[in-house]
Structure 1
């Protein structure tokens, strides 16, 4: 994931609750690094009981990227992988 983002909005409860907005570039880069460097599993081989209930919206000057995560485990779900990033956000 690119690191040229200057705002991160974290939503939980299937996008109904905004938990936090992060504008500290160092913290955003740390979160991106954690996602990029955490262990991952092939998502096509895993059966999920339910989908992710959180969304991270990374915003930059020229682009926006949405990444979904599970609030209970902090794991991130992409098109190809489940990433064990253990992300936890608090207001």
Structure 2
């Protein structure tokens, strides 16, 4: 069963990850200024931001993966043809 992802789903995920990223950033700012925390741990902010960028460029990533798969199949076919030629030469 193939998962069907629509543009609406991708847009929803993009905004969801951005909201989560900025909420985590806001909570770190709150802790920094009102709870007197010395350092800010922005790992959750960067994680959500990374996922937002992945969803933003989903179609570009899928396009690159399809191109890489095509290149891989061509290379595999060329390798099989080369092995077949070597077998024919040996006979």
What TM-score do you get using the length of structure 1 for normalisation? 0.23
Higher strand content, 1 or 2: 1
Q: Tell me which structure has the larger Cα radius of gyration.
A: 2
TM-score (norm 2): 0.23
Whichever structure has more helix as a proportion of its residues is 2
